[in-house]
Amino acid sequence: MPGTRQERLNHKLSAILYADVHGYTRLMDHDEAGTVVRLTRSLALIRNLVGDYGGAVVNTAGDGLVAIFPSASQALHFAMEMQLELSNESAWSSGQEPFAYRIGITIGDTIAGDDGVYGHNVNMAARIQALATPGGICITDTVYQLVRSNPELSLRSLGKQKLKNIEEQVEVYAVELDAAAARAEPMPLMSLSRVTQRLVPDSSLAVLPLRNVSGDPADAHLCQGVVADLISNLCRFRSLMVIARHSSFLVSAHLKSLREIGQQLGVRYLLSGRFRRVGNEIRFSFDLNETDTENTIWSERYEGSIADIFAFQDDVTATTAARLAVHIDMAENRRLSAQNHPNLHAYGLILRGQDLSFRFRPESNSHARRLFEEARLLDPRYGRSYAAISRTFNFEWRYNWTTDPDAALNEALNLAQLAVKYDDLDARGYSEMGLAHLYKKEHDEALAAYERALQLNPNDADLLAEMGDCLVYVRQAERAVTLLERAIRLNPYHPDSYLWYLGDAYFHLGEYEKTIQTLRRMRDNSEGHRLLAASHALLGQSDEAERHARAVMEVHPNFTVEHWRKVPPNKFPEDLEVFVEGLRKAGLR
């Protein structure tokens, strides 16, 4: 019948993303088997990730693919994350030529057929991707009009372009990924707390960010990961006080003088370093500086291939500890030397996923989980991959990003147990186990896991804070305050969660004024309104209690006291009832 074929076609307005591998023919000619492996892996990752960002892959052909999204902003968000992911991948390519996609994005009508989507706008996206630089993104003017108000974007016009087999000229814009990242401002420095300004211990140290003198943004995660692991390893030595990475990075972004950085962080020594990479060859150089005099008291340089990175970390850790520590337990030295070094590519995946997982967004959490799962496939005995996946399931449960929260929490515990099975010397697995046990209200098991984690890494600020949170719920709030104050000393520019945990500890001690004072120090106290409302109510300050109760409902319109009664993992129900009484007195129902 006439029109039957046309009736089967499904017209739809979509944002269209076209991606194609740059120099694919040359790559195949140089290394056919290796290129096919890399193409297959990258396409599989893209297919897995695209759904997390709201899109769907609809066409693939050779080295190219077409994906559609409901909106231009979703398509561009995915494109930027995809290019960043593939750029980071090149840091771990062991000297191989970078595998780069070019991306074009437009928006318009598409026609869905039996085996893909077609139409003028698909052709348009394919044409403008050819104008992008390798690893770059180009968008049409129609997309530009929809996304240009986003202050985080940096867009540059390439002018009107004549595209092959397209009659009208089209204005095209390039998305400047490096410029967009550079526009992010560091957090402002807060004034130091009284805890930070105490007498500086002799064996106190901060590790500053590695200077990436190669200038390749793809090496950024490598540099951050080396520093993070150095700090984690140094925290194992009980005689050293090591400042958490977040604080040392924040202060060094604002201050350049070593003396000022040391004074701001309250440490006697600073470890600084530089990193250079040429192909597969890398060079690290480190200086240990005394902050008061800014004198260098030790320098070392390491050269080798990227596969030597774990040996570099071990050497720097042991040498720094030996220079600063008067007494270092032989058991801790043995534990450090007994570390099982993971597959290099798996290590890179974990470093990239860590930043994503702490964005606290469902799509970023899913993205991180896929990277962690790929790391697990590459190295099934790599304990940290299981610990990292466990945290993503815990976040999924905590933020209600799942339709089956019980299953998510059970999986978090199962993965943490596997992390410990494969690496029983890594505190991360035990801390994730403690967190999962706590929210399953298995308090003895949670405490035992946290105690073991602290034995392995007694100076890890985040671990101290999380164990402090656990202690609050088992009537050990006084010890919780001690641990949290030490965490704040080690990480003076700490996240708001430290103050929330500390305020909760004071609340359980019945010190409601201290609870209020502590929570007022939070940069964003939107999650503190519940505790503030209850504290003011129990002090008889009804006006303030009602104000915070209204704020609770503004932040969480579906809040009910009966639901919240099920959330805090108190071991003793009567402790929870004090909180519930405060919420009710504040006017919450």
Q: What is the DSSP string of 455-489?
A: HH-TT-HHHHHHHHHHHHTTT-HHHHHHHHHHHHH
Which tokens hold the place of 557? 């319109």
Count Cβ atoms below 10 Å from residue 322 Cβ, excluding itself: 12
b (16+ CB within 10 A) / e for 39-60: beebbebbebbbebbbbebbbe
Backbone angles phi, psi at 5, to 5 degrees: -60, -45
Q: Return the DSSP state at 129.
A: H
Q: Return the DSSP state at 53.
A: G
Q: What is the pLDDT of residue 197?
A: 43
Domain with CATH 3.30.70.1230 in the chain: 4-182
Count Cβ atoms below 10 Å from residue 399 Cβ, excluding itself: 13
- Intervals of the chain under pLDDT 50: 1-9, 180-186, 191-198, 326-332
Count Cβ atoms below 10 Å from residue 100 Cβ, excluding itself: 19
Which helix (H) or strand (E) segment is 514 a member of?
helix 512-519
Backbone angles phi, psi at 285, to 5 degrees: -130, 135
Nearest one of 54, 15, 324 to 140, comparing CA atoms: 15
Domain with CATH 3.40.50.10610 in the chain: 204-337
Q: What is the pLDDT of residue 225?
A: 77
Domain with CATH 1.25.40.10 in the chain: 342-456, 494-589
Query: Sheet containing 281-290: which strands, arranged edge to edge?
Result: 241-242, 204-212, 269-278, 281-290, 296-305
Which helix (H) or strand (E) segment is 547 a member of?
helix 542-555
Angle between helices 573-585 and 542-555 (to 10 degrees): 100
Which tokens hold the place of 554? 């503004």
Asked whether the beta carbons of 500 and 528 are under 8 A apart, the reply is: yes
Residue type, 16: I
Q: Tell me the CATH number for domain 342-456.
A: 1.25.40.10
What is 4-182's CATH topology? Alpha-Beta Plaits (3.30.70)
CA distance 27 to 451: 52
Residues in the chain: 589
Q: What is the pLDDT of residue 588?
A: 95
Task: Report if pTM > 0.75.
Answer: no
Q: Which CATH superfamily is domain 204-337 in?
A: ABC-type transport auxiliary lipoprotein component (3.40.50.10610)
Q: Which CATH architecture has domain 494-589?
A: Alpha Horseshoe (1.25)
Nearest one of 396, 412, 386, 403 to 357, comparing CA atoms: 396
> CA-CA-CA-CA torsion for 292, 297, 302, 308, nearest 10 degrees?
-70
**Maximum pairwise Cα distance, the chain:** 91
Which residue reads 């929330």 in tokens?
500
Residue 270, strand partner residues? 206, 289
Q: What is the pLDDT of residue 184?
A: 44
